[in-house]
Amino acid sequence: MRKPFIAGNWKMNMTHMEAAIFMQDFHYDMKNKNGCEICICPPFTALRGIKNIIDSDKIDVAIGAQNMHWEKSGAFTGEISPEMLEALKVDYVIIGHSERRQYFAETNETVNKKVRAAFAHNLKPVMCIGEDIDIRQSGKAEEFVLSQLAACLDGLEEKSVTGLTVAYEPIWAIGTGKTATSKDAEDMCAAIRKKISSIYGPDIAEAVRIQYGGSVKPSNITELMNMPDIDGALVGGASIKVDDFLAIINY
Ligand code: PGA
């Protein structure tokens, strides 16, 4: 049985002070009736502050970064390394979000390097893949997403892949208010699992968690979570509103 996994991707929102207020409000009202694993991915500047609140108040929430470099240290001005995140005891790291691919020239090759670096530093990657609207309309979405998946996993060992989360995020659904239908989302997540099975075998494919992301909100989460191959959600906009994020967790 895969534990449902709901992660909030705050993107470039909230100062470290706003983040602390969010955590207090969130904790005050926190319920988790489905026993989900919950993860909050704030900007780098808020990681330490949130981690301290989680630890001191013993809040059952994991913490994740939104990106990182693959090298452990070096002359990479402005970058954050896996070693730094490991030292902060960050649990997860989002890798290859479509906004990183679109605005910061990330490719399947850099995603692959980062996923490997994450595992080497005890960080669990949430690896994002997904097609844009042109690819969806051309009818080649599945082919495209599965080739992204294979390229991003290239050379990854079986024992690592069990700890992987894949986030299927159709780009046309991100921040647009348009969600994929639960059937389209399920079909793609099932295809992703089948592909993982063809590379690593059925046991690993059964263990890997697959999230859907793209305009997830309180009104559509239940339907998505009822799908057999959707194990959770990567939530953007709705994750920075305490009430919405709590409603999503308690779908
Ligand atoms: P959204 O973002 O929920 O605001 O569509 C999802 C994401 O980018 O991970």
State the fold for domain 5-11+21-249.
TIM Barrel (3.20.20)
Helix (H, G, I), strand (E, B) or coil at 143: helix
User: Could you tell me which of 73, 61, 158, 169 has the C-alpha nearest to residue 117?
Assistant: 73
Q: What is the pLDDT of residue 156?
A: 96
| Residue to substitute in 174, 210, 219, 234 for testing ligand 1 pocket (most ligand atoms within 8 angstroms of CB) | 174
The pLDDT assigned to 144 comes to 98
Q: Are 231 and 4 in contact (CB under 8 A)?
A: yes
pLDDT score for 137: 93
Catalytic residue among 37, 99, 106, 169: 169
Sorted by where each begins, the domain ranges of the chain are 5-11+21-249
∠ CA(90), CA(91), CA(94), 5° rounding?
95
Q: Could you tell me the two tokens for 157?
A: 């060992």
Q: What is the pLDDT of residue 145?
A: 98
Whether residue 71 lies in the annotated active site: no
Residues 6 or more apart whose Cβ sits within 8 Å of residue 222: 251
207-240 residue pLDDT tens: 999 999 999 999 999 999 999 999 999 999 999 9
- Given the residues 69, 97, 121, 131, select the one marked as catalytic: 97
List C-alpha distances in Å: 185 to 85, 142, 148. Answer: 31, 11, 16
Ligand 1 pocket test target in 5, 6, 9, 165 with most atoms within 8 Å of CB = 9
pLDDT of residue 94: 98
- Ligand 1 atom nearest 173 alpha carbon: 5
For residue 128, give the ligand 1 atom closest to its CA: 9
Question: Measured between alpha carbons, how far apart are the two ends of the chain, in Å?
Answer: 18
Q: Is 169 a catalytic residue?
A: yes
Atom of ligand 1 nearest to the CA of 175: 5
Please give all residues whose beta carbon lies within 6 A of any atom in ligand 1, as ranges.
9, 169, 174-175, 213-216, 234-238
pLDDT at 39: 98
Which protein residue has the closest C-alpha to ligand 1 atom 2? 236
In angstroms, the CA 212 to CA 6 distance is 10
Residues 96/152, Cβ–Cβ less than 8 Å: yes
Q: What is the pLDDT of residue 177?
A: 84
Weakly modelled stretches of the chain, pLDDT under 70: none
- pLDDT confidence of residue 178: 84
